[in-house]
């Protein structure tokens, strides 16, 4: 039987592959989280190169899709080399979510993901994202509307609950599974926490260990190193991990985790040559997808992260964020390579920025 046509989903202990409907992922897959203004095709390309097993688009407003808003439509752009890839939608109206799921179907992603996790006020105030956590019955109706409207597997990304007094993820997980969801990614914070404090994975583990739960459960929150990923894998038993903020400017996090899980040793940090090449690839993809003006402008935010650790970088960085052509930027990057040639990077902690205003889900 063609695996892509096989119904259902499983995490059969005798078969370590993780299945989301007809999508087959490797044992302990690493997922790139959908992040607004970050998880665009140029960024996804460098993450895919470095080992991301499943990726998602930036979240897309169901209302925007229906209105045919240019920005919403552009976020539907996906490419074959990205597969498997999911398109994430959000909204608080059942009819709008159902219709947007049909629109998503037309571009043929591998799955549809529903955002019930974004804590940003402008999203929550519209009764969408994490705002739905205050009305679980509505969450289930929205989910069922999407499931009934698409031929694709439907997954959900959410949080532990609205606040400390309403951490209802165990009930929510069962009801989402009953509604037809094929996998669930859980961020280990409430909406009230935004990204403050530490992510609590104990409730994620309770969901995973619930004998009623048959769908894959992915943990998310505060993973910023390969050793921590393995520690959480073994401690909480999740089927895989979703990486968000740690991948910003450091797409190598995926390959480092894979190596550490397999060999129990740290992979050497990316070399100067690798960092320069990723800068160039990201720049070219950004230029191609966004156009010369926006592509070059929006690339400026990434240089600091890609080149973190280099001493006396201020002058080079200042030039990179003021130049206006790809050729000029590549010239500076080549100068940097010659200037720092032979520099040995050391492992350093990845800083997880307070990103809630941009809503990483």
- Spatial CA neighbour of 109 closest among 34, 17, 8: 34
Residue pair 191/162 in contact (Cβ under 8 Å)? The answer is yes
Going through 103-216 in order, the beta strands assigned E by DSSP cover: 111-116, 154-159, 183-187
C-alpha–C-alpha distance, residues 356 and 282, integer Å? 24
Residue pair 49/32 in contact (Cβ under 8 Å)? The answer is no
Q: Length of the chain in residues, anyone? A: 361
- Three-state SS at 32: strand
Element (H, E) at 66: helix 62-67
C-alpha–C-alpha distance, residues 154 and 87, integer Å? 10
C-alpha–C-alpha distance, residues 349 and 45, integer Å? 23
Residue pair 329/323 in contact (Cβ under 8 Å)? The answer is yes
C-alpha–C-alpha distance, residues 255 and 226, integer Å? 9
List the catalytic residues. Answer: 118
* Radius of gyration, alpha carbons of the chain: 20
HSE-up of 107 (CA within 13 Å, CB side)? Answer: 22
φ, ψ of residue 168 to 5 degrees: the values are -110, 25
C-alpha–C-alpha distance, residues 228 and 154, integer Å? 29
């Amino acid at each position: 039987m063609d695996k892509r046509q096989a119904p259902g989903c499983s995490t059969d202990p005798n078969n370590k592959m993780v299945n989301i409907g007809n999508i087959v992922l490797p044992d302990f897959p690493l997922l790139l989280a959908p992040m607004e203004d970050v998880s665009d095709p140029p960024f996804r390309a460098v993450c895919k190169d470095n080992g991301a097993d499943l990726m998602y688009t930036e979240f897309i407003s169901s209302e925007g899709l229906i209105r045919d808003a240019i920005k919403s439509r552009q976020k539907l752009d996906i490419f074959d080399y990205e597969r498997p890839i999911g398109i994430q939608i959000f909204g608080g109206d059942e009819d709008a979510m159902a219709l947007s799921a049909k629109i998503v179907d037309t571009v043929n992603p591998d799955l549809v993901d529903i955002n019930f996790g974004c804590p940003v006020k402008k999203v929550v105030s519209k009764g969408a994202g994490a705002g739905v956590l205050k009305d679980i019955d509505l969450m289930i109706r929205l989910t069922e509307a999407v499931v009934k409207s698409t031929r694709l597997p439907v997954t959900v990304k959410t949080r532990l609950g609205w606040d400390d007094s309403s951490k209802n993820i165990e009930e929510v997980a069962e009801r989402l599974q009953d509604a037809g969801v094929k996998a669930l990614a859980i961020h280990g914070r409430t909406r009230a926490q935004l990204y403050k404090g530490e992510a609590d994975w104990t409730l994620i583990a309770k969901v995973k260990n619930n004998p009623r739960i048959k769908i894959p459960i992915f943990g998310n929150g505060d993973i910023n190193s390969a050793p921590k990923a393995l520690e959480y894998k073994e401690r909480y038993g999740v089927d895989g991990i979703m990486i968000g903020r740690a991948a910003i400017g450091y797409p190598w996090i995926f390959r480092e985790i894979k190596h550490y899980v397999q060999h129990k040793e740290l992979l050497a940090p990316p070399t100067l040559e690798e960092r320069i090449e990723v800068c160039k690839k990201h720049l070219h993809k950004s230029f191609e997808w966004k156009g010369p003006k926006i592509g070059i402008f929006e690339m400026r935010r990434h240089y600091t992260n890609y080149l973190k650790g280099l001493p006396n970088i201020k002058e080079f960085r200042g030039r990179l964020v003021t130049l206006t052509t790809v050729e000029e930027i590549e010239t500076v990057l080549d100068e940097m390579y010659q200037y720092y040639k032979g520099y040995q990077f050391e492992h350093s902690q990845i800083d997880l920025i307070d990103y809630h205003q941009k809503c990483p889900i």
